[in-house]
Amino acid sequence: MTDPLRREFGSRAKDPVLRRNLLRATDTSNAHRAAAAAERADWEELRSRGAAIRDHTLARLDDYLAEFIRSVEARGGRVHAARDAPAARRIVTGIARRKGATRILKSKSMATEEVELNRAFERLGFEPLETDLGEYIVQLAGEAPSHITAPALHRSAEEIRDLFLARGVLPPGDRPPADRAGLARWLSLAARRHLAPRLREADLGITGANFLVAETGTVVLVENEGNIRFTTTTPPAQVVLAGVEKIVPRLADLAVLLPLLVRSATGQRFPGTVSLISGPVSESLDIVLLDNRRTAALADPGDREILRCIRCGACLNVCPVYRTAGGHAWGSPYPGPIGSLLTPLLSTRDADRALPHASSLCGACSEVCPVRIPIVDHLLRLRARAAAAGSPASPGPLAIRVFSYLARDPRRYERATWLLRRFWGIALRAGLMKRWTRYRDAPSPAARTFRELWRDDGPPAR
Amino acid sequence: MDRLLADVRRALAGADRPELPPAPPPAAGGDPALLAERFGTELSRAGGRFLVAASEAEARAAAGPGAPPDRADLLIAETGTVVRSYASARESRVSLWDERCVFLATSEALVPDLATALARLAPIHRAGRAYTVFVTGPSRTADIEKVLVIPAHGPRELVVVLVRAPAGC
């Protein structure tokens, strides 16, 4: 890992409250996911089907995108292409301005996080209301979401209680119960009451999309809280921002992809609510298709495989690095193992190319991925790509060059091992090895080398 | 838009193009009584209430006071899911804005699984504008410490009444 990366992950790993919150939440999610996967006898076959549908679609995305656009336009909806994040912000805020919209409802969407849509709105003087409870919590706290499907997973109920008291979601003097489950319930219901009037009067609704169906121009939205239904039915105008890779060919494909998504994300048999929206069902529908380097990723068969991702978040929950440092360490809307792959593909920041190093390569992510993305293989591939591009600086190659120089000559090698044994203890005591020994042992070299043993004692007895 | 399509086309020039696997076949019809039983079990598991009534009048009485009930188009037995297609978003508020949401359905609405439900919906969505919701239980959240809380923003209570005799008779 590079130094900035080490700081981001290292400092968070030392926060005991964060650590406890992360373990509690991800342990629960992992147990639910495992039970939901075990319950379906055809789970492995379903994963293969899901992977095949995604592969097929991505390889023919030109045809399916064209079909999707035709289908939406035939129903009276408008489709826009956003080449990058600034273009996406310009298009969406432009629509809001033309509609004269000031009361904006927003549902949780990774694409809107990716383009930092809310900041663009704040610069114009209004704040879209995040209607998903977890997203509302991080919005109140002025934070970024730390998980793809559970944005406030890094916060304890006590922290959220203090936030709600400070921001007036709980009336002053309110005395919520102290036990964890009772408190979580109290806070969730307080947010429901607080937001109810605002959900029933609005000018514009902005959502992402879980899937976009080519044959029918359908926007598919998955949720549990009912907030997406408010976002898509209260305001007269609806805007959808989604990555171009969200396309699936037919409605029938949802019979494979929805169970994969929801069982992996929350362990439910079916989501609380799924909405299928074909064309403008209120006054207007604008769908903004986000490229932001996705088409460049399509050109490489390996990178294309990463775009299979259906954003369930299962790989985050099982990842030991995520469970230790939390999602904010990635500094990207896409954290965790899949974030270490997606972020370098979608971002232009140099530092993000080091993210594939934020992994122990244990392979838990590849095992749970519902669309069988071989995440570990791609982490290694992107590491190699970053190394070939000369960034980030890694001590590995230099160490190998030094070793190879010493090992090529027996006398040189002997002298080096003598020096090493001589000064090893001094180096350790002087703290020169601190960056290594902070997390690992530094075993002392043997008192006598193999060559000395051979020379002095002769060959070992049979 | 043309530029996006051209970019995608260029990126995929020469790519391997694997075939689309056939859609999983919808399950066979099944005995309505068994489907109803399964639906009821799954709905209660999801926190909803399942009632059976002999007539629509009895169903309305069983559903209790409050907003007029909505009609369910399909009931998915496998997951206890109500499927309802609306002509407009505004019309759909009937199953969202109130504390209590009641759906009436007849046994023709029962289908075994999601694949069958999607096959039935496809013609509606192919024909033009359509807004379909799949509702499984009352609204819920687990965003605070993974503690399941009902309700979230939507209805607090979901009741499905299966009317034995065809509606309107």
At A24-47, the pLDDT tens digits run: 999 999 999 999 999 999 999 999
Chain A (28-87) residues lying within 8 Å, Cβ to Cβ, of chain B: 28-29, 49, 52-53, 55-57, 59-62, 65-66, 69, 74-76, 79-81, 83
- The verdict on residue B10 lying in a domain is no
Cα A424 off chain centre by: 42
Cβ contacts of A136 within 8 Å, gap of 6 or more: A129, A130, A191, A195
Residues of A within 8 A of B134 (CB-CB) are: 270-271, 273-276
Distance CA A304, CA A61 (A): 11
At residue A152, φ and ψ (nearest 5 deg) are -105, 25
Average pLDDT of the segment spanning A209-222: 98
- pLDDT surpasses 60 at A303: yes
Closest chain B residue to the Cα of A226, Cα to Cα: B154
At A51-62, the pLDDT tens digits run: 999 999 999 999
Distances (CA, A) of A455 to A146, A448, A458, B61: 60, 11, 6, 100
Place of tokens 């490489």: A300
Q: In Å, how far is A423's CA from the nearest CA of chain B? A: 51
- Mark yes or no for CB contact B18/A189 under 8 Å: no
Distance CA B60, CA B54 (A): 11
| Contact present, A69 and A265 (Cβ < 8 Å) | no
Q: Where are the beta strands (DSSP E) in A208-333?
A: 211-213, 218-223, 237-243, 247-248, 273-278, 284-290
- Mark yes or no for CB contact B136/A271 under 8 Å: yes
- Mark yes or no for CB contact A233/B11 under 8 Å: no
Kind of pairing, strands A129-130 and A211-213? unpaired
Q: How many helices (H) and strands (E) does chain A have?
A: 23, 10
- Interface size A-B, in CB pairs within 8 Å, comes to 252
With 0-12 / 13-18 / 19 or more C-beta atoms within 10 angstroms meaning exposed / middle / buried, residue B14 is exposed
- The verdict on residue B34 lying in a domain is yes
| Contact present, A215 and B112 (Cβ < 8 Å) | no
Question: Buried b / exposed e across B29-56, counting CB within 10 Å, b at 16+?
Answer: eeebeebbebbbebbeebbbbbbebeeb
Question: Buried b / exposed e across A176-190, counting CB within 10 Å, b at 16+?
Answer: beeeeeebbbbbbbb
Chain A (268-297) residues lying within 8 Å, Cβ to Cβ, of chain B: 269-282, 289, 291, 295-296
Q: Report the percent of chain A where pLDDT is more than 90.
A: 81
- The verdict on residue B5 lying in a domain is no
- The verdict on residue B24 lying in a domain is no
- Mark yes or no for CB contact A229/B154 under 8 Å: yes
Read off the pLDDT band of A353 (50, 70, 90): very high
Closest chain A residue to the Cα of B118, Cα to Cα: A252
Read off the pLDDT band of A451 (50, 70, 90): confident
| CATH for B126 | 3.40.50.10420
Average pLDDT, chain A: 94
Structure tokens at A72: 């939406």
- pLDDT surpasses 60 at A237: yes
Q: Specify the pLDDT at position B167.
A: 46
| Contact present, A71 and A215 (Cβ < 8 Å) | yes
Q: Specify the pLDDT at position B168.
A: 46
**Tens of pLDDT along chain B (169 residues)?**
899 999 999 999 999 999 888 877 777 778 899 999 999 999 999 999 999 999 988 888 888 777 789 999 999 999 999 999 999 999 999 999 999 999 999 999 999 999 999 999 999 999 999 999 999 999 999 999 999 999 999 999 999 999 986 544 4
At A68-82, the pLDDT tens digits run: 999 999 999 999 999
Closest chain A residue to the Cα of B86, Cα to Cα: A281
Measured from the Cβ of residue A207, the count of other Cβ atoms closer than 10 Å reads 27
- Taking alpha carbons only, the member of B121, B116, B120 closest to residue B131 is B121
Closest chain B residue to the Cα of A53, Cα to Cα: B20
Distance CA B166, CA B169 (A): 6
Measured from the Cβ of residue A8, the count of other Cβ atoms closer than 10 Å reads 20
- The verdict on residue B114 lying in a domain is yes
Distances (CA, A) of B64 to A372, B71, B158: 48, 15, 12
Average pLDDT of the segment spanning A121-146: 96
- The verdict on residue B16 lying in a domain is no
Place of tokens 């903004």: A288
At A388-436, the pLDDT tens digits run: 887 555 566 788 888 899 999 999 998 998 898 888 888 888 888 887 7
- The verdict on residue B36 lying in a domain is yes
Could you say which DSSP state residue A222 is in?
E
- Mark yes or no for CB contact B125/A216 under 8 Å: yes
Query: CB distance from A215 to chain B under 8 Å?
Result: yes
Radius of gyration of chain A (CA): 26
- Mark yes or no for CB contact B115/A255 under 8 Å: yes
Please give the helix or strand (H or E) that residue B156 lies within, else none. Answer: none
Secondary structure in 3-state letters for A161-208:
HHHHHHCCCCCCCCCCCCCHHHHHHHHHHHHHHHHHHHHCCCCEEEEC
Q: Specify the pLDDT at position B169.
A: 44
Q: What angle do CA A143, A145, A147 make, to 5 degrees?
A: 150
- Mark yes or no for CB contact A252/B119 under 8 Å: yes
What's the domain range around B37?
A: 29-163
Residues of A within 8 A of B131 (CB-CB) are: 275-278, 281
Read off the pLDDT band of A2 (50, 70, 90): low
| Helix axis angle, A117-124 to A85-98, nearest 10° | 50
Structure tokens at A263: 């069982």
Q: Specify the pLDDT at position B165.
A: 63
- The verdict on residue B2 lying in a domain is no
The total number of structural domains in chain B stands at 1
Closest chain B residue to the Cα of A297, Cα to Cα: B11
Place of tokens 């298009």: A91
Distance CA A20, CA A66 (A): 47
Closest partner residue to B144 among A49, A157, A266, by Cβ?
A157
Better-scored residue on pLDDT, B67 or A254? A254
